[in-house]
Amino acid sequence: MRGLLLMSSGIDSPVAGVMMKERGVEIIALHLSLLENPAEADKVTRLARKIGAKKLVFASIQEAHEAYKAKCNPRYTCLFCKRTMLRAAEAIAKSEGCDFIITGENMGQVASQTLDSMKVTDDAVKMKILRPLLGFDKTETMARARKYGTYDLSIEKHEEAKPLVQRTQGVRLSPGCPFLPKNPATRPRLEAVKAEEARLDLVRLMEDVVKSAKTVY
């Protein structure tokens, strides 16, 4: 079996990747970035190698985010972001011969990870999504990260991309996500999210995301 892991530079997704690898799944890692950041790219690359990912791919969702911010309700930013990531993951997973998508989400951690939000994000794709950390709390995930040897690397600080600050009018900057809205929707209706997405040329935006994909190793 082969799985496409949505890989960040944080604690959760590397742990999810190792857990699936322990079950015999070959890992293809995909990192989707908002802006080019060499320090973060280096960190993700080291994490991917640490967990034994067979392949690492980088792609950009910057244009999709900027299009959404220009035309759509900011309350659904987190949901649009996750739906965009899943669409990109599905497209690249198919091209890599993957059987499913793997994420490091756990229930209720952030706005896009409530049960209601997950139902909305999952609607964006047809491919199966596996969430090995779904029932974990942060303490359990951190313990796994220490066990797998990824914790110290995951918490390593790197310089954020400075130009991003100039693109965040109307949103609250945070260490986790610079596009996080002030009042993110936590109990969204699928119809409302789709209505916002209808303002965009999703087909073209997703084609551009896939075209931006580059194999790191």
Domain boundaries, the chain: 2-215
pLDDT digit string (tens) for 146-167?
999 999 999 998 655 444 444 4
pTM of this structure:
0.89
pLDDT of residue 178: 63
The list of the chain residues with pLDDT below 70 reads 108-112, 158-179
Task: Identify the CATH number of the domain defined by range 2-215.
Answer: 3.40.50.620
Tokens of 157: 């600080």
pLDDT at 186: 78
Q: Give me the pLDDT at residue 209, please.
A: 97
What pLDDT is attached to residue 103? 98
